[in-house]
Structure 1
């Protein structure tokens, strides 16, 4: 007998015929939904938030095999180039990898991007909290660091003191995270001789 059956919680969905769903709540679920209705909710959210998966073919801009699938099509998970677009021959902007921290209600997402303006435009959020220089390795370290407060299977974390303290350290002396990111890109341009 699963945990949901022990505590007697049942799915909170009212079906089309007016009857409540009788299935037990998925063990550990953050909301009172059975497995079937959690999957329906996931598919609904995935239309906007995207699903990470292998690209049909490697990215034409950077060669990464991993992408994010949206209802409107695929983008590369590394450089966020839209699959199907052909990279032009003009000078590409420098790659500046960042770990971003965004707040949506009482949750914080810790993610990474080489094109945060495009990435954050696709994510629901109330506030950009901070940027931190680094890529996937740093992102994974932060996920492990705050794992106790992570919502299973997501990059979202409950707001808690240690995470707020970390964001506070990143924000120290930074009035606007976008200005900070702009300085990092400018330095990379100067370094690369563009």
Structure 2
């Protein structure tokens, strides 16, 4: 908002003639037809502007400094969820990656191999996938316990490591202390395994780009 767009008087909490001392100050904007805005200043505002003109000022400044908000999806480059929106587009607030620069197809085709640990009732499945969202959705489970970066070779090592508790001919294991300790180590400091996986994908995208 330019000072000349609405006129003068902004910043002075003057009480109009005839107004009571308890009345809120009048908006300080003078309109294009030289009439003063008849609305009262917004309660608690740092300048004497009504709510409407505060929003006009906000929109004007947002064009210059951007509006910070949550991204609809994690940044494909760094995994951050915070973005800054401008009229020309949205960028990541952390790394300034422009949202939409990478075609969706490129991300969809990008795989990150993981070993996953699922709990279903009193059993735990150890499997592997380059697309765990699709794979996990197809399996019966109560909870995703953890992810571990690795492919089928690592999965086979885990199967051997916990073979004493494996149900024959399956990838399901009985719950036991050694397996729970391993899962606890993988999930230490991780509040959401899916958010961790999204960060791995984001880093992979950034490296490829």
Q: TM-score, normalised by structure 2?
A: 0.49
After superposition, the CA RMSD in angstroms is 1.3
- Residue 160 of structure 2 aligns to a residue whose secondary structure is helix
| Match of residue 135 from structure 1 | 151
- Please report how far the alpha carbon of residue 96 of structure 1 lies from its aligned counterpart in structure 2 after TM superposition: 0.3
| Match of residue 165 from structure 2 | 149
- Residue 180 of structure 1 aligns to a residue whose secondary structure is helix
5 Å matches for 1:41-120?
90-91=105-106, 92-120=108-136
- Residue 175 of structure 1 aligns to a residue whose secondary structure is coil
Regions of 4+ moved over 2 Å: 90-93
Q: Distance in 2 between matches of 1:144 and 1:122?
A: 25
In structure 1, list runs of 5 or more residues that go unmatched: 1-89
User: In the comparison of the two structures, how many residue pairs are matched?
Assistant: 105
Q: TM-score, normalised by structure 1?
A: 0.53
Structure whose CA Rg is larger: 2
Q: Distance in 2 between matches of 1:177 and 1:158?
A: 21
Q: Distance in 2 between matches of 1:175 and 1:93?
A: 27
Q: Distance in 2 between matches of 1:93 and 1:189?
A: 10
In structure 2, list runs of 5 or more residues that go unmatched: 1-104
- Residue 109 of structure 1 aligns to a residue whose secondary structure is strand
